[in-house]
Amino acid sequence: MENKIIEVSGLSKKYTSAKSFALDHIDLTINSGSIFGLLGPNGAGKSTFINILSGLTNKSSGVVKVCGIDLDENPKTVRGNIGVVPQEINIDPFFSPIQIMDIQAGLYGVKKENNKNLEILKNLDLFEKAKAYSRSLSGGMKRRLMVAKAMVHNPPLLILDEPTAGVDVELRSKLWNSIRTLNKKGVTIILTTHYLKEAEILCDRIAVINKGKVIACDEKKKFMQLLDEKELIIEFSEQIKKIPSEIKKYCKKKEKKSLTLKFKKSKISTADIIKIFVEKKFKLKEISTKESDLEDIFIKLLKE
Ligand code: ADP
């Protein structure tokens, strides 16, 4: 059986000023070693969930266990098992990365002999900048330093809140690599994201939260199978006269010289469709396809 790093049952949160639940009886387990994506629109309850885990917000009811330890029974140990990378960068520009790390280690009571700050900086590709002024770091380096800061007490679980919000494409992929490296070293990762491609690329499991409820939670692979729809656009060299009868049911849009077809990959393949056209002597010019991505699934789930 897989080791559970997070076990949450019946977790609810109602802010005193609010009419409805920010989290409404959530049950969720997260396996050790996973990169787990928490998706949901604004106001879904993602930050509330993360803040409860990291001790910034009190829950209203329910049970939360981190590494098998009950949050109510031992909040300090639970906090020690979690590193949190907040959305905003808060780094003192006049300190060097290693100074920032050492101050953080002091705050967490990390003993000198357990201080692995240089190693952590090395793992995050910041070793050469360890003694530089932090204000001289690039945006990507600052973000990696935020991750390093969250790792000073060597927690088995790292939570990243919108890790690549407002980050450009190149920095984004560097940050993804750093996250993957940490995960390979055994750190379980939970990340919230608005950016669905990020979850698709990084995560092995995904939960979708909406209005305080988990509306779906599954392996990413299964999510991707949820919609096995594919779109195929075929352009022909000649005007289309009659659509083959076996294709008609897949036809979404017909123009003079092009057809847009939508079908389930589990029912028919692109090759089968092309074969039908070729056998009927259609002259094909261009073919393009579009698979459903997480975005489509997300929209579908929210509509439901
Ligand atoms: P997300 O992180 O998914 O955007 P949040 O957890 O921030 O969602 O918010 C969930 C719900 O709780 C929203 O309706 C939000 O307005 C409400 N909420 C969040 N923080 C507070 C607070 N401190 N006081 C009152 N309501 C809050």
- The answer to whether the beta carbons of residues 209 and 45 sit under 8 Å apart is yes
Q: Name every protein residue with a CB atom under 6 angstroms from any ligand 1 atom.
A: 15, 17-18, 22, 40, 42-48
| 137 closest CA partner among 94, 85, 181 | 94
Structure token pair of residue 16: 């005193």
pLDDT, tens only, 115-138: 999 999 998 889 999 999 998 998
Residue with CA nearest ligand 1 atom 21 = 15
Q: What is the mean pLDDT of the chain?
A: 91
User: Could you tell me where in the chain the CATH 3.30.70 domains are found?
Assistant: 229-303
What per-residue confidence (pLDDT) applies to 74?
96
The preferred substitution site among 20, 39, 47, 51 for testing ligand 1, maximizing ligand atoms within 8 Å of CB, is 47
User: Could you tell me where in the chain the CATH 3.40.50.300 domains are found?
Assistant: 4-224
Residue with CA nearest ligand 1 atom 22 = 15
Per-residue exposure over 58-95, b if at least 16 CB sit within 10 Å of its own CB, e if not: ebeebebbbbebebeeeeeebbbbbbbbbeeeebeeee
pLDDT higher for 52 or 290?
A: 52
3-class state of residue 7 by DSSP: strand
Structure token pair of residue 26: 């959530």
Q: How far apart are CA 14 and CA 272, in angstroms?
A: 54
Output the CATH code of domain 4-224: 3.40.50.300
Edge-to-edge strand ranges of the sheet holding 4-13:
23-31, 4-13, 61-66, 69-70
What per-residue confidence (pLDDT) applies to 38?
94
Q: Tell me the residue type at 24.
A: D
Residue with CA nearest ligand 1 atom 11 = 22
pLDDT (mean) for 269-287: 95
Q: How confident is the model at residue 1 (pLDDT cuts 50, 70, 90)?
A: low
71 C-alpha vs ligand 1 centroid, how far in Å? 21
pLDDT, tens only, 204-242: 999 999 999 999 899 988 877 776 788 999 999 999 989
Residue with CA nearest ligand 1 atom 12 = 22
Q: How far apart are CA 263 and CA 300, in angstroms?
A: 17
Domain at 229-303: CATH architecture: 2-Layer Sandwich (3.30)
What per-residue confidence (pLDDT) applies to 59?
97
pLDDT, tens only, 144-156: 999 999 999 999 9
What per-residue confidence (pLDDT) applies to 301?
78
pLDDT, tens only, 45-59: 999 999 999 899 999
Nearest-atom index, ligand 1, CA of 57: 23
Angle between helical axes of 169-184 and 139-150 (0-180°, round to 10): 20
Strand partners, 11: 26
